[in-house]
Structure formats: structure tokens, C-alpha cells
Amino acid sequence: MSSMDNMWGFMDVIFAGAGLYVLYAAFLMKTTGEIKTSFLMNKDVELKKCKDLEGYKTFIFPKMVIFGVSTLLYGGAGMINSYVFSFPLPIYVVFMAIFMIVLIWFAVQARKGLQKFW
């Protein structure tokens, strides 16, 4: 395995870990009410200024789950591709395209949530 393959494999682990973190953050929000703001909003947004915090949680939770699962699956597929067997390029491109679509969708939804609830 070349050093470039190792780098991509490492990035896949990062993606899978990020997916797990998003799912963990969604679980925390649902069970304890704690919002991990680091990836949902910029540092200038104050939770105290939210017009409807429970409404925001209801709005963003399913989107976080979809994004977290998508990120975890993309990272997992990448690790399989790097360490187990290589997918044919068209199949891997489909994985990447689906992940990118979900990523853009989630970013748009997170922005809508900020506009609607702040």
C-alpha cells in the first residue's frame, strides 16, 4: 500500500469517526437536551437567543441522523475500499456523490434551522 493509499485510508477513518460523532451528538440532544453546536452553527450564535429551542431540536434531529449515518457509511465504504477490496470506480463515485449530496443538503437544512429559530 502506498503512502497516498494510507492517507486516503486515514481520511476514511476520520469520516467514519465524524459520522459517529454526529450520531452521538444527535443522541445527546434527544436524550439530555444538550446541543453540540460545534458543527451545527458558528461561534457567534448563542443558544440563549433561540426563539424556540425545542422546535429547533425537533427540526434538526432527523437531519443529523441522516447526515451522521451517511457520513459513517461513506467512511466505512472508504475503509473497505482502502483496506479490504477496491470497489469499481463508478460504484465508489456513486458513494461519493451520494455523500456530497447529503452533505450539501445538511448544510442547507442547518442554515434554514438557524434562520427559522434564531
Average pLDDT, rounded, for the chain? 91
- pLDDT for residue 3 is more than 70: no
- pTM to 2 decimal places: 0.89
List, for residues 13-68, the tens digit of each pLDDT value: 999 999 999 999 999 999 999 888 777 777 778 888 999 999 999 999 999 999 99
Instruction: Report pLDDT for 48.
Output: 87
Instruction: Report pLDDT for 5.
Output: 61
**36, 57 contact by CB (below 8 A):** no
Return the SS3 of 33: coil
